[in-house]
Structure 1
Amino acid sequence: MKVLKKILLFIVVLVVLVIICSLVYFNSLKPKYSGELELVSIENKTDVYFDEYGIPHIYAENEQDAMVALGYVHAQDRLWQMELIRRIAPGRLSEIFGEDMLKNDKFFTSLGIEEASQKSIEKLDVTSEVYQLTTAYLKGVNQFIDNGATPIEFTLIGINKEHYQLKDIYNILGYMSFSFAMAHKTDPLLSAIKEKLGANYLKDLNIDVDSKTALIKNSKSDIKNYANIVASVSDIMKNSPVAPFVGSNSWVVSANKTSTGNVLFANDPHIVYSQPGTWYEAHIVTPNYEMYGYHIAGVPFPLLGHNRNYAYGLTMFENDDVDFYKEENHPSEKNKYKSKGGILEYTIVNKTIKVKDAEAVVISVRNSHHGPIVNDVLDGISQTEPIAMSWVYTQQDGVVLDALHTISRATNMEDVKKGASMIHAPGLNIMFGDASGNVAWWAAGKLYKIKSNSNRKFILDGASGEDDIVEYLDFSENPIAENPEWNFVYSANNQPDTISNTLYPGYYLPEDRAKRIVELLEPKNNWNKETMATMINDVTSSVAPEVIQEFTKILDYNSFSKNEQRAIDVLQLWDGSNTIDNVAPTIYNKWIYLYLKNTFEDELGEQLFTQLMSTHLIKRTIADLIKNDAAIWWDNVATENVFETRKDILSESLIETVTLLEKQLGKDIKDWNWGKVHTLEHPHPLGTIAALKKYFNVGPFPIKGAREVIDNRGYEYNDSGLYNVNAGPSTRRIVDFSDIENSISILPTGQSGNPFSKHYKDQAEMYNKGEFRKMKLNKEEIINSSTKLTIQPKNE
């Protein structure tokens, strides 16, 4: 018995020791939000106050000290995120995740981002403020890497920390730029549809196909090639561990339309949800500078920001800055191809990709004068028909970092405009408002023209030179609005007005959000912060009820069953609102999916239909096609001797909708609440492991909103009847120049990417409810509600 007691006592002591050691270890991984710290490269004592949501308010004697502090605190909250995002462009994800990421690495390393980064760095003036401040930020990041706690993700995966370098920042900006692009999802797909079905099918999709347009003549084998390009790149972007940008809203209201007589600014960029989220907030104050900014991982200058004088934000322009060219190989010499100027030789770049637990992979990427040959790095693409990808980002000098510095250090509206003019890619709408009463919008991006008889929505002819770029436009020709007479500016990724006397090609989103924004802004002249907060959370579609009206005016109501009639009644009484308790959105979204599937899949087949559903084009098609009774798509080509009409397809889709929802949610329509099928979960890369999911992921939650309402949510349409939200507002931000110290914002989960931080998910509930918190600028208020980390200079 004594032996048994000793054994039990030993086990108890061992368990207690394990618990104590675990607590000590896990506590050591938490970010340091208070106390003292010594850092080299800081000249003076710097105070960092972390407010109740973990946002650092950095008070420094000069900007270099502030940037060292920013680099350190950014890294302690987001080093894992920073590690992932810097690995994408140079193709280094396979080093830590193994062969699952090899497809991503092959593609991104072929794009030339790293080479473009090196060119930009070589042209940097090392005496410039941009260089000095960026270097200071890197010194802060690297001191945390050297002396701070190792994030648990590094330990679980088994990777070592590495110093951040200048090229990492440029590579991150390159990845961000590519994540905005839509051409890779759309151009090859439209070429495949044209080859398979003919130009008449494209006209019903509002794709202008001029009979005079010089379209490259392709063999039928191209259909598979083009489809596989879309499928491969789409899979790569979905597989990316760092969230791409997908859309955005912003509007700025002049003093003439507010109750206070001051400008109001609103912005909510739409980004794929992830944990941690995209933005890291930081407030910097020096004797000569102040900015409350929103940073992406690893970048020293904020993409969004405001101070007491001005506010700026962004949405995606959605302009076309990627084109695909079909090259023509030399008939006998495999490394040569035809061009307008004669026979040219492919330049070949060999790259080695390290793979965890496997042999390194060496890839050879050919480049034509248009760009990299995607056949070399994408699966299932025939090598006999080389397709080159031309991308403005790698073809022009990259000064995006300088542009962000210029915008975030502006002293007036012209400075911000100058910064906007420096951005060649990605295409961005820069939104602006200030304390002096100015409002403005500038479309940033290097726009260009090809010949008028060429159509950039298709694979272009690389051999003839007829489809090559003939002119780059000066920034003065980009669309802008400065203090317009209608007293507001806005963007919802919709088509801008004419540029250089033409509608500039792009992958613009439908009018839904834009229409709702204008519908709300135009009639009202007493806007304030509270009404603006309501508007940025608006979940009502102006277009969906019109779509329902178009359908119900042609249906035969008495031909439907009782439950089908009840569903029609619900839709007819619907005001377009998408709250979690509403039933109509559940019926509407299922019906829309089936309407699209029954209309397009018979002609396209499953693969092309699935790819079409991932484009902005299909969103633009929903409302337009339903009005076109003569559209060629209505006929189901799988049925013999029957010509289906619009009424047939839409009615059939309604019947299927009710049948499937009864099976999924029960017979009682009152139980078909939107929140049961429309949910949001914020995924961490390690959340794919079942045992770790509950520790790293945040959610799932039933969530309001829907596709293409102001409170925009992204989700896939598929047969499941579930709408797992994958994208939406990455922050909601309202800046009130009548009460600048009480401007408001929110993040989807929390400020910290450290799962042991209390700020890992402390904003999630507020975000889901559409609530806000302050973006504090008042020093006394900040001190009274914060913990304090004092950073002292340390001798090197």
Structure 2
Amino acid sequence: MNNIKKIGLILLILLAIGAVFAGISVNALSPTYKGQKLLPKLSTATLVHYDTYGIPHIYADNETDAIRTLGYVHAQDRLWQMEVLRRIGTGRLSEVFGSKMLDTDKFFLSLGIDEATKQTVANLDKNSPMVQLSQAYLDGLNQFVADGPTPIEYYLTGLEKAPFDLGDIYNTVGYMAFSFAQAHKTDPLLTNIKDKLGEAYLLDLDININPNTEWIKNYKNTKKGDIQNSIAEMTNKALGALSLPMFEGSNSWVIAPSKTKNGKVIFANDPHIGFSQPSVWYEAHISTPSYEKYGYFMGGIPFPILAHDRNLAYGMTMFQNDDIDFYYEETHPTRKEKYKSRLGWATYEKVRKIIKIKDSTDYEFTYEKSEHGPILNGIAKQIDGEQPIAMWWMYTQHKNEVMDALYGMCHAKNLNGFQAALPKIHAPGLNIMYGDSEGNVAWWASAKLYKDGNSNQTKFVLKDSSDLNAPERYLDFSENPQAINPPWNYVYSANNQPDSIAGMIYPGYYLPENRAKRIVDLLEPKDDWRMEDVKEMITDVVSPINPKIVKELNKFVSAKELSDSQRVVLDKLSTWKGENNLDNIEPAVYHRWIYFFLKNTFADELGEDMFQQFLATHLLKRTIAPMAAKSESVWWDDINTKDNIETKAQIVITSLIEALQSLENDLGADPNQWTWDKLHTLEHPHPIGQVAALRPFFNVGPYPIQGTREVINNLAFNYDDTGMYAVTAGPSTRRIIDFSDIENSMSILPTGQSGNPFSEHYDDQAEMYVKGEFRKMMMNEKEIKDTSKSLLTFKPTQD
């Protein structure tokens, strides 16, 4: 009966699509890349030349007209993406996808993104250049909403198009800010480990900073309730329900002239973001007599987050500082509406919200807030225990000037002007990377940092009533980690631990040294870098750390416990140099071994739910190498075998045999067939692609792909008992800008420029991306116009 129902549902969906196609031609649903259109409020006509990959090169007499045109062309390729992004932070996904998104909506509403947006927008100076240009962008976007073809996703979901406003821009920025955070995955888990197992079990986890790993160097010159299945599980479900793009990590390095063959700066950046379709970035080149920029834009945001021109280039990686904290609140013993604050008993603020649900009645709920932030109990059914837990988040607690920072960055003329914009970034914390035609290279950790008595204990749910809005002091931006024109002649970031210039360690959820070590090892000895060298480096798939982990584990392997065929595989793994190519078998053996090693070490104490949470953290990635090197640990003993005390050697050999057996079960008895291409694949998921019948139409892929976790070509995946490594996140673009040949700078997108499945540019870069290929970021006006695939002209309407 269930199969009959599924078949019936699929047929209904296919009939619905057929009805759409019958009533509307495919051409009517496609973006318009040539011809003429009227665009209100333009002062003069604008020209949009589309290149071979559908990237618009916008030529206008002034920046306002150019940005208004950008709003229109951005919307015609990405309106559905903009729609979803603006709804996340405001709890409006259930209006589109129904009750399955209710928990997601409740969670994001409780964060207060919508309330913070209202306050920010109300206080904006409507005459400021930032707001004026933002409004011009919205004018163009809304003109497409009014008269452009409706994307097919609106027909399939029954959603009506609606105009966008300034609040939608800030709500999208709010979602972006939260998706950087790691505290929600880590703090509750560590608190549970401490409370349930004891502090001894924390000693072998890599919680504190290891001074022996690769740190980013600074340089300046004058130029209590049971929350086991609560916050972590709730947020993972909320963020994963629609394959939403989450910000995961990133690489960037900027090479000074003295280390390049042509004597000019070379800039490289590849932000790591969860894969989705469409991909995160929309490329656009804007050219006016007074302003030019080649930028990467997020859906619904008018200023580029990554960009370059002929004078300077900038990009970002995630800083990974800690800007979220959780607090146990003490409720009054007889008056449940009150809690203990730093000034005495205070009354919880009650917040009432209504969520509209597609094809159902509205859902009303109320949550409470303390001085720290929203009380998460009751927000989702996963929260156990009665002791209230509040969440403090830097983004909602402080004045929001992130849009002013983006405006300042993309309008800066030089290093000093660029740096002046960065203190406006309070959250999320970003490593901002910079290089220019004058030979300057720089890196700044941009975030609102503070000193406080709790600042070294923020990886646990806190039990005091301190006020992070009034810490010991907030740091001046000059005390943030940074390096400007250092004597070693390069700057870089790989989300690893920065050194301090403020006499303190900056708390955070930094990634292990794997990528950082490889970047430094490659950059340091070479002084004649070329564009081609950097292209090879940014697609590098070698891990300097994983072979060392294998070496440490091998110390505990007794060959006599292995069969002849198993010893042959181990011998091959023992000589591995860390490559992760499609025809390698070593990555398959390594990751199966590591998974079983982790499972046999941690799962018995943690239990299944906490173990799965642990696997999803950066903490897990930081723990693998130290645990492989430790001889003694409280974690080695299996608590389920009461009469035996297991040793590391038993864990290691058992895990290896289980790994080899699982590969044989999955891929056959011949180890030569255990190649990485059979296990490591990339598919770009579209929200509508979750419907199986629509998956081939909306999703892109899957493709076998080289690379792995924590190499420069960083392709993240989850460890689980399937033994398959479906990539979830990776380089959202790869950009290389050579100031000796700016017009031949290179880039790539994971799928294509357009989010419209009827566009020829929906997936025309996908295979290039998988192969590690690049294409030009064109800036030469004559070349653009001579090779333009199509021309779209916008003319002002007549009064």
Same fold by TM-score, threshold 0.5 exceeded? Answer: yes
TM-superposed deviation, 1:242: 2.8
TM-superposed deviation, 1:464: 6.5
Letter in 2 for 1:721: G
Letter in 1 for 2:177: S
Question: Residue 291 of structure 2 aligns with which residue?
Answer: 289
Q: Map 1:684-723 to 2 at 5 A.
A: 684-723=686-725
TM-superposed deviation, 1:20: 13
d(CA) in 1 for partners of 2:259, 2:521: 14
TM-superposed deviation, 1:463: 3.9
Letter in 2 for 1:791: F
Question: Residue 560 of structure 1 aligns with which residue?
Answer: 562
Question: Residue 730 of structure 1 aligns with which residue?
Answer: 732
The answer as to 2:92 corresponding to 1:92 is yes
- Is the contact between residue 348 and residue 367 of structure 1 (CA under 8 Å) also seen in structure 2? yes
Question: Residue 121 of structure 1 aligns with which residue?
Answer: 121
TM-superposed deviation, 1:691: 1.3
The answer as to 2:202 corresponding to 1:202 is yes
Q: 1:329 to 1:468 in 2, by over 3 A?
A: farther
SS of 2:313's equivalent?
strand
- Is the contact between residue 256 and residue 487 of structure 1 (CA under 8 Å) also seen in structure 2? yes
- Is the contact between residue 29 and residue 149 of structure 1 (CA under 8 Å) also seen in structure 2? yes
Letter in 1 for 2:93: L
TM-superposed deviation, 1:700: 0.4
SS of 2:701's equivalent?
strand
| CA shift digits 1:291-327 (9 cap, x unpaired) | 0000000000000000000000000000000000000
Question: Residue 186 of structure 1 aligns with which residue?
Answer: 186
Q: Map 1:163-174 to 2 at 5 A.
A: 163-174=163-174
Q: 1:565 to 1:331 in 2, by over 3 A?
A: same
- Is the contact between residue 192 and residue 227 of structure 1 (CA under 8 Å) also seen in structure 2? no
Q: Map 1:54-453 to 2 at 5 A.
A: 54-208=54-208, 218=224, 222=225, 224-382=226-384, 384-451=386-453
- Is the contact between residue 77 and residue 754 of structure 2 (CA under 8 Å) also seen in structure 1? yes
Q: Map 1:513-524 to 2 at 5 A.
A: 513-524=515-526
| CA shift digits 1:269-289 (9 cap, x unpaired) | 000000000000000001000
Q: 1:348 to 1:20 in 2, by over 3 A?
A: closer
Letter in 2 for 1:184: H
Question: Residue 797 of structure 2 aligns with which residue?
Answer: 794
d(CA) in 1 for partners of 2:612, 2:79: 36
d(CA) in 2 for partners of 1:608, 1:722: 21
Letter in 2 for 1:649: I
TM-superposed deviation, 1:785: 1.7
TM-superposed deviation, 1:625: 1.1
d(CA) in 2 for partners of 1:90, 1:234: 18
| CA shift digits 1:313-350 (9 cap, x unpaired) | 00000000000000011111121111121010111111
SS of 1:701's equivalent?
strand
Q: Map 1:521-560 to 2 at 5 A.
A: 521-560=523-562
Letter in 2 for 1:86: R
| CA shift digits 1:610-634 (9 cap, x unpaired) | 1000000000000011111011111
TM-superposed deviation, 1:757: 0.3
| CA shift digits 1:128-149 (9 cap, x unpaired) | 1101100000000000000000
d(CA) in 1 for partners of 2:39, 2:604: 65
Question: Residue 621 of structure 2 aligns with which residue?
Answer: 619
SS of 2:264's equivalent?
coil
Identical-residue share of aligned pairs (%)? 54
d(CA) in 1 for partners of 2:288, 2:425: 27
Question: Residue 5 of structure 1 aligns with which residue?
Answer: none
Letter in 1 for 2:486: P
| CA shift digits 1:581-634 (9 cap, x unpaired) | 110000000001000000001111111111000000000000011111011111
| CA shift digits 1:713-753 (9 cap, x unpaired) | 11110111100111100000000000000000000000000
d(CA) in 2 for partners of 1:20, 1:162: 20
Question: Residue 214 of structure 1 aligns with which residue?
Answer: none
TM-superposed deviation, 1:554: 3.1
Q: Map 1:586-597 to 2 at 5 A.
A: 586-597=588-599
d(CA) in 2 for partners of 1:595, 1:29: 51
- Is the contact between residue 229 and residue 384 of structure 2 (CA under 8 Å) also seen in structure 1? no
1:671 to 649, 653, 673: 673
Question: Residue 45 of structure 1 aligns with which residue?
Answer: 45
d(CA) in 2 for partners of 1:240, 1:476: 40
Question: Residue 215 of structure 1 aligns with which residue?
Answer: none
- Is the contact between residue 329 and residue 337 of structure 1 (CA under 8 Å) also seen in structure 2? yes
Q: 1:780 to 1:453 in 2, by over 3 A?
A: closer
- Is the contact between residue 58 and residue 70 of structure 1 (CA under 8 Å) also seen in structure 2? yes
Question: Residue 461 of structure 2 aligns with which residue?
Answer: 459
Letter in 2 for 1:135: Q
d(CA) in 2 for partners of 1:95, 1:21: 24
Letter in 1 for 2:184: H
- Is the contact between residue 574 and residue 584 of structure 1 (CA under 8 Å) also seen in structure 2? yes
d(CA) in 2 for partners of 1:271, 1:488: 24
Unaligned 5+ segments in structure 2 are 1-17, 210-223
TM-superposed deviation, 1:415: 1.7
TM-superposed deviation, 1:417: 1.1
- Is the contact between residue 461 and residue 467 of structure 1 (CA under 8 Å) also seen in structure 2? no
- Is the contact between residue 450 and residue 467 of structure 1 (CA under 8 Å) also seen in structure 2? no
TM-superposed deviation, 1:642: 2.0
| CA shift digits 1:21-44 (9 cap, x unpaired) | 759611111111011111001110
- Is the contact between residue 564 and residue 654 of structure 1 (CA under 8 Å) also seen in structure 2? no
- Is the contact between residue 104 and residue 240 of structure 1 (CA under 8 Å) also seen in structure 2? no
TM-superposed deviation, 1:193: 0.3
TM-superposed deviation, 1:431: 0.2
- Is the contact between residue 202 and residue 208 of structure 1 (CA under 8 Å) also seen in structure 2? no
- Is the contact between residue 89 and residue 109 of structure 1 (CA under 8 Å) also seen in structure 2? yes
Letter in 2 for 1:759: H
d(CA) in 2 for partners of 1:591, 1:351: 48
TM-superposed deviation, 1:711: 0.3
TM-score (norm 1): 0.95
Question: Residue 11 of structure 2 aligns with which residue?
Answer: none
TM-superposed deviation, 1:383: 6.1
- Is the contact between residue 37 and residue 794 of structure 2 (CA under 8 Å) also seen in structure 1? yes
d(CA) in 2 for partners of 1:562, 1:688: 45
- Is the contact between residue 227 and residue 385 of structure 2 (CA under 8 Å) also seen in structure 1? no
d(CA) in 2 for partners of 1:393, 1:36: 42
- Is the contact between residue 430 and residue 444 of structure 1 (CA under 8 Å) also seen in structure 2? yes
d(CA) in 2 for partners of 1:332, 1:367: 19
d(CA) in 1 for partners of 2:560, 2:490: 47
Q: 1:590 to 1:627 in 2, by over 3 A?
A: same
- Is the contact between residue 244 and residue 276 of structure 2 (CA under 8 Å) also seen in structure 1? yes
Question: Residue 757 of structure 1 aligns with which residue?
Answer: 759
TM-superposed deviation, 1:468: 7.4
TM-superposed deviation, 1:206: 2.7
Q: 1:587 to 1:41 in 2, by over 3 A?
A: same
TM-superposed deviation, 1:235: 1.1
SS of 1:414's equivalent?
helix
- When the two chains are superposed, the root-mean-square deviation of aligned CA atoms in Å is 1.7
